[in-house]
Amino acid sequence: MKTNKKTEVIRRKKSTASTRSKDVRSNDPHLEREQSRYEHPLPSREYILQVLLEQGVPVSEDRLAQLLGVVQHEMDTFVRRLAAMERSGQIMRNRKNAICVVEKLDLVNGRVQGHPDGFGFLIRDDRGEDLFLNPGEMSKVLHGDRVVAREGGLNARGRREGQIVEVLARANKKVVGRLINEHGIGVVAPEDRRISQDILIPGGATGGAKPGQVVVAEIIEQPKPHARPIGRIVEVLGKYADPGMEIEIALRKHDLPQVFSSDIEKSAAKFPAGVVEKDLKGRVDLRNLSLVTIDGETAKDFDDAVHAERNGKGFRLWVAIADVSHYVQHGDAINHEAYLRGNSVYFPRRVIPMLPEVLSNGLCSLMPKVDRLCMVCEMDISMHGDIAGYRFYPAVMHSRARLNYTQVAQVLENANGEGACEIGHLVSDLKSLHALYHCLIKARALRGAIDFETVETQMYFDEEGKIERIVPTQRNDAHRVIEECMLAANVCASDFLSVHDHPALYRVHEGPTQEKLVVLREFLREFGLQLTGGDEPQAKDYARLLEKIKTRPDVQLLQTVMLRSLRQAVYSPENVGHFGLAYESYTHFTSPIRRYPDLLIHRSIKAVLDGKSYDPGDWHEIGVHCSETERGADEATREVETWLKCYYMQDRIGERFTGTVSGVTNFGVFVALDQVYVEGLVHISELGSDYFHFDAAKHQLLGERTGRRFRLGDRVSVKLVRVDLETSKIDFVLDESKTKEK
């Protein structure tokens, strides 16, 4: 009986605690959200911050748990949530281990951005003014670290300084660089010049690497105010000039996964070789439709196929997209890896795919003459290019041909030529696509989408993997046909999810900031030009100005400055529209083989078709992650191309070239060479015997005594004097002999 009474007392206490917990939790403004995510929900982050702010003083962990009704069996999970809030910079603990709200301490959170010269900046999470971090502050951290800092005073140059209070998260676990013997001590000089501190390597931790080799060092001790970081070499890559080394460096520098784990490879090996009968259930059979793929000549992963035909006074367009979501399920290992990668990375001569090759180049690739599963957007489009109606559905298709842009462009130009004879009956289909394209570009012009004409280049390599030549790639009507078809399908996908009130990851592109708008208008005023639209110009205002300047000799200069005034497109669950394309709503649906956001959109569309809802997790967090992986891939690709161009130019020192000023900074001008399509720097000290002053608004350097001006878009003659493979830098000097001749 005593045992029973004791048990009953414990049960009553638990019941009372549970009741008290429920009463407290009912005040949580985000209770429903937490209940939808977790079987046993804790107080939301927002509610924890609210309670802390209401107390007005730092609160101990136990007291906070009591205030929030957190019971004993929830404590472990609660402590983990607090730790996550610390890592996010929302809270921190003082010397007494009491919990404080960071914003009440007049502290700011952000990410460290290093500079090769040893100083850095704190890029604030609240998008406020960046804080300058002097070399002393930077000795505590490395580029990319997340920190909490206190605002300080202004330094001698008028920049607001920051003092680091706490490091929230270390960004660098491994660093790629070159091993150097420094007075008998091994150090790794990081390839990423934003990490200005060398990594000390103890005597027994060199991993057999020799000085001068490119290595990967694992950091075993992060930097401290008076001690450099310490590491050990875990991988030896080889010498700088080894074939493919530039890609190996970029992969590790940007922490890009380059191999799939054995578990994922085993999972991928279980997929069938082709479409099986059970996959056809519930799908529309489009195998009799003349769908074709049109891609670049070297493409292997075919995401999309198209077909168009006349439909009354308008057209019917089918855009069939590889049904990756049928094979890659939410929650499985392949999906997790695809999320981590975010996208495929396309280097010259090498692709790092988002999905295992059995999917990306096989089962999900819309190869010719084989059955493939797909998601279809079928659209009715008027003669004016308006989408009169659309529908989405899963289907099975059979591509009639794998065509490339050059081949299709030749057919569109000459329907009776040799290229047309090779594809026979498909010529009429291509004519229909081309006719539809002309309708779509009318609609594009009417809504005022911006169309910047930029020069793209392609590298051709020799047998050793080095550049043989660089040539410009011409964007032809075949490129434009596919582009407009994909835009139409993406717009329909966005509209479909919006109409059905289903969350989505939109591709958003905001207009220019007020600061950039002021700078742009000041610049245009010097040329007697004006951007219409007042304080909130639209894409059509940009398009109207581009049309006005397209025949001017300085069109490249003006277009470049206009382009730089715009913000970068990102992924976000908040639909603010796409400024550049002049769409109120836009998403990515057409490339699920190589972009993770597209895969999410496919799952969302399928969920709506099934009368359900798809929840991949925190849409905002996913959007930020996918935007970051996209930027990382772009940076890595750009760095590889820059290194290859340096290697290409190293044997041409002393040669003279003509080019265009492609960038102006306070330390010199960058010049893009004609025909060669390589960019290098003319340092300010090489511009002449004068003091040159940088004017950011006018994109120019102006000589104080001579009045000599170097402005974005100016034509110059230069001589190549230096190529540094280790820093990927090319240096020019002005070719004064050519200047005098002029």
Closest CA to 676 of 474, 473, 471, 475: 471
Q: Residues 372-387: pLDDT tens digits?
A: 999 999 999 999 999 9
Report the pLDDT value the prediction gives residue 203, as an integer from 0 to 100. Answer: 86
CA distance 81 to 651: 58
- Say which DSSP state 42 is in: P
Per-residue pLDDT band at 155 (split at 50, 70, 90): confident
| Contact predicate 251/258, CB 8 Å | yes
Angstrom distance (rounded) from CA 397 to CA 292? 10
For residue 215, which phi and psi values (nearest 5 degrees)? -135, 170
Q: Once rounded to an integer, what is the mean pLDDT over residues 256-284?
A: 93
The average confidence (pLDDT) of the chain is 89
Say how many C-beta atoms besides its own lie within 10 A of residue 356's C-beta: 22
Rg value, the chain, Cα: 29
CATH 3.40.50.720 fits 174-239, yes or no: no
Residue 557: which pLDDT band, with cuts at 50, 70 and 90?
confident
The pair of three-digit structure tokens given for residue 697, joined into one six-digit string: 């608004």
**Residue 673: strand pairing partners:** 659
Q: CA-based diameter of the chain, in Å?
A: 112
333 by DSSP, 3-state: which? helix
Answer yes or no: are the C-beta atoms of 485 and 319 closer than 8 Å: yes
Retrieve residue 688's tokens: 């002449």
- Rounded CA gap, 527 and 545, in Å? 12
Band of residue 542 on the pLDDT scale cut at 50, 70, 90: very high
pLDDT band, residue 670 (cuts 50/70/90): very high
- Is residue 689 over pLDDT 60? yes
Residue limits of CATH 2.40.50.700 in the chain: 174-239
Evaluate whether 347 touches 637 at the Cβ level (below 8 Å). Answer: yes
Intervals of CATH 2.40.50.140 along the chain: 106-169, 653-741
Residues forming CATH 1.10.10.10 domain(s) in the chain: 21-102
Options 1.10.579.10, 1.10.540.10, 2.40.50.140, 2.40.10.120; which CATH number does 653-741 get? 2.40.50.140
Residues 377, 395 contacting (CB under 8 angstroms): no
**pTM for this prediction:** 0.82
Q: Is 149 helix (H, G, I), strand (E, B) or coil?
A: strand
Q: Is the pLDDT of residue 740 over 50?
A: no
Say how far residue 14 (Cα) sits from the centre of its chain: 50
**pLDDT value of position 9:** 44
Distance CA 599, CA 303 (A): 11
DSSP characters for 449-497? -------EEEEEE-TTS-EEEEEEEP--HHHHHHHHHHHHHHHHHHHHH
- Whole-number Å distance between alpha carbons of 109 and 149: 6
Superfamily of domain 106-169: Nucleic acid-binding proteins (2.40.50.140)
Q: Which helix (H) or strand (E) holds 54?
A: helix 45-55
Give the model's confidence band at 5: pLDDT under 50 very low, under 70 low, under 90 confident, else very high: low
Distance CA 590, CA 377 (A): 10
- Helix (H/G/I), strand (E/B), else coil: 263: helix
What CATH number should be reported for the domain whose range is 21-102?
1.10.10.10
The answer to whether the beta carbons of residues 150 and 178 sit under 8 Å apart is no
Nearest residue to 661 (alpha-carbon basis) of 642, 646, 647, 681? 681
pLDDT digits (tens, 9 = 90+) for 401-429: 999 999 999 998 887 777 777 788 899 99
Report the range of poorest mean pLDDT among 371-385, 581-595, 672-686.
Answer: 672-686
Phi, psi of 44 (to 5 degrees): -70, 160
